[in-house]
């Protein structure tokens, strides 16, 4: 084979390896139960859990506790299976956190009781929601 063909095959092989490893790292949304099972099996990979903040009957967020220095906080997240879990995040509370429609936490269990979030992603209510618009004088 020519030297150019070998280099081309090598580049293609490297590209395939990179694609395969990135696919293996891609995470789907899991539940807190799955994350806990992973921890018990010794798997310490970060996992994505999606859910909603726990709210009372009036729609107010419950279980949100901000530390005195305001550099970290804990909150209760209810995943899609209905499991309530306390989550710790070692950063200040993000803006509009309590108004978010859903929350994705990326992290893992350090012990059997609390989920440690390395990152939080929020889906906030749309500012483009349909509302009734009435013209002046009507």
CATH number of the domain that 87 lies in? 2.40.50.140
Do 32 and 86 form a contact (C-beta atoms < 8 A)?
no
Do 83 and 111 form a contact (C-beta atoms < 8 A)?
no
Q: Which domain does 65 fall in, by range?
A: 29-123
1 within domain boundaries: no
Beta bridge partners of 73: 66, 89
Strand boundaries in 33-114, DSSP class E:
47-53, 65-66, 73-79, 84-89, 102-109
79 within domain boundaries: yes
pLDDT at 121: 93
100 within domain boundaries: yes
Look at residues 77, 73, 74 and name the one whose alpha carbon lies nearest to residue 35.
77
d(CA 47, CA 77): 15
d(CA 34, CA 135): 52
9 within domain boundaries: no
Predicted TM-score (pTM) of the model is 0.69
pLDDT at 128: 52
129 within domain boundaries: no
Look at residues 71, 80, 84 and name the one whose alpha carbon lies nearest to residue 114.
84
93 within domain boundaries: yes
Give the mean pLDDT per block of 10 residues along the chain (138 residues): 80 79 64 89 89 89 90 94 94 89 91 91 69 55
Give me the number of domains the chain comprises.
Answer: 1
pLDDT at 137: 56
- Identify the DSSP state of 126: P
- Identify the DSSP state of 83: -
pLDDT at 59: 84
């Amino acid at each position: 084979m020519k030297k150019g063909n070998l280099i081309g095959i090598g580049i293609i092989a490297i590209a395939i390896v990179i694609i395969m490893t990135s696919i293996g790292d891609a995470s789907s949304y899991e539940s807190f139960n799955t994350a806990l099972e992973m921890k018990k099996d010794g798997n310490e990979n970060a996992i994505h859990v999606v859910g909603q903040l726990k709210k009372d009957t009036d729609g107010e967020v419950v279980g949100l506790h901000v530390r005195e220095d305001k550099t970290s906080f804990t909150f209760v997240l209810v995943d899609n299976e209905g499991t309530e879990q306390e989550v710790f995040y070692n950063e200040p509370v993000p803006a509009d956190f309590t108004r978010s429609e859903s929350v994705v936490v990326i992290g893992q269990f350090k012990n059997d009781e609390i989920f440690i979030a390395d990152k939080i992603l929020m889906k906030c209510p749309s500012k483009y929601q349909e509302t009734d618009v009435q013209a002046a004088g009507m």
